[in-house]
Amino acid sequence: MNLSHPRRAAKRALIAAFAGVVLTLAGCSAPAPDVTDDVAGDVSAEVQANVDSAFAGTSGPLPESSPAVSPDHDVWVVSAFQQVSGLAKIAEEIQAGAEVLGWTAGVCDGQNDPGVWSTCIRQGVAAGADTLVLAGVDCGATKQALVEAKEAGVTVAGISAFDCSDPTQGGSESLFDVSVQYGEDFADVADYFTQVGKLRADYLISATGGTAQVLHVAFAGVAIGDYIAQGFTEELATCAGCSIVGTVTITPPDVPNLRTMFETGFLQATDATAVVTDLDFMLSLGVQQALEASDLGDVTVLGGECVVDTIAFMRAGGGVQACIGFSNGRAAWSLLDGINRFYNGEEPVPSTIGWQIYDASNESDWPAEGEPFEGPVDYREGYSALWAAAG
């Protein structure tokens, strides 16, 4: 192993500093065999086309019309964990959009605990909510509470969440009435997040010239993470000069130990030329801080969906350098539009939410300071006008 590489030398010092850390923490893979520094790489035309398209941005227009606003609904948002900024953004936008619709909306913080998720669902039903929005809460973890809600006549909607009919949730009877429609190019929610993962691999393949040696920080135990990871690992495997040299697997109970687990995996993956996190909350809750304390050298670091914190980290430097934005806010308003259509007996309309890559090459296009990725469409104004016109 060539420890003359500046990051490897830094790691050697870090290893001494972390001599007391147990290197077999759950979720950290064993180090992969060494790879040489001159692996011949290649970037296929398809991969580069996907990346070029994502740099340009793939967000499309809002629906052109809406049915009349169904009146007097009470929405109850069950957020998996309000400390995750993407979920907090969803809850905030559901409340804002509900106000425009003339509905009421409340939020229950599930505190990263499936038991609390079910309690939140039952609290919403008991409080008289006629609509539940599950934000990052999968059906399988809350099935009994959802069955009770459905028996009480409550409408169930999911955002960044997966129905009981999904294979990851047991493939049983559907309990969701409405899910986000990400666009006509995607078969379903699972396909959208699988394609998000695929694009993340394509970006690293392109950025490293087909030689990416990746430390993958994977979010397991929640379907959104499983699908992103599936798309990422399958696509990276198509690159002959690329490999995953280490995996740090984070499950919801691991979140308090996230930084320590990442530091352990990072020390082991001495040949990593790239780090990728499945979702941005991993950066905020430990990965970014660990990176800032390290000498990254020439390692490429790809974050998640371009939330506020990630854009700020990119500006500050020393850690994450790129992200692939998709708008949690637009998804929230799109879901509300789908809920209104459901109450009018109509099918939801795809919103073509899309995505966009941000890195140093297009820094002038990054979201404004203090703002997450929202995309080129003013979805708040657009949906507000659409609903107002419908009456």
Quick one: CA dihedral 293, 294, 300, 304, positive or negative? negative
User: What was the pLDDT predicted at 42?
Assistant: 87
pLDDT of 340-359, one tens digit each?
A: 999 999 999 988 999 999 99
Nearest residue to 379 via CA among 331, 307, 326, 324: 331
Rounded distance between C-alpha atoms, residue 182 and residue 211, angstroms: 31
Rounded distance between C-alpha atoms, residue 326 and residue 113, angstroms: 25
pLDDT of 78-89, one tens digit each?
A: 999 999 999 999
User: What was the pLDDT predicted at 8?
Assistant: 43
**Angle CA 346–68–381, to nearest 5:** 105
* Structure tokens that stand for 292 in this block: 């800032």
Q: What is the CA radius of gyration of the chain?
A: 21
User: What was the pLDDT predicted at 164?
Assistant: 97
Rounded distance between C-alpha atoms, residue 83 and residue 79, angstroms: 10
pTM, full prediction:
0.88
* Residue 216: strand pairing partners: 247, 276
User: What was the pLDDT predicted at 297?
Assistant: 84
Contact 97, 67 (CB under 8 A): no
Q: Which residue ranges of the chain lie beneath pLDDT 50?
A: 1-40
Rounded distance between C-alpha atoms, residue 40 and residue 19, angstroms: 35
User: What was the pLDDT predicted at 41?
Assistant: 65
pLDDT of 26-70, one tens digit each?
A: 344 333 333 333 334 689 999 999 999 999 999 999 999 999 999
User: What was the pLDDT predicted at 303?
Assistant: 98
Largest CA distance in the chain: 68
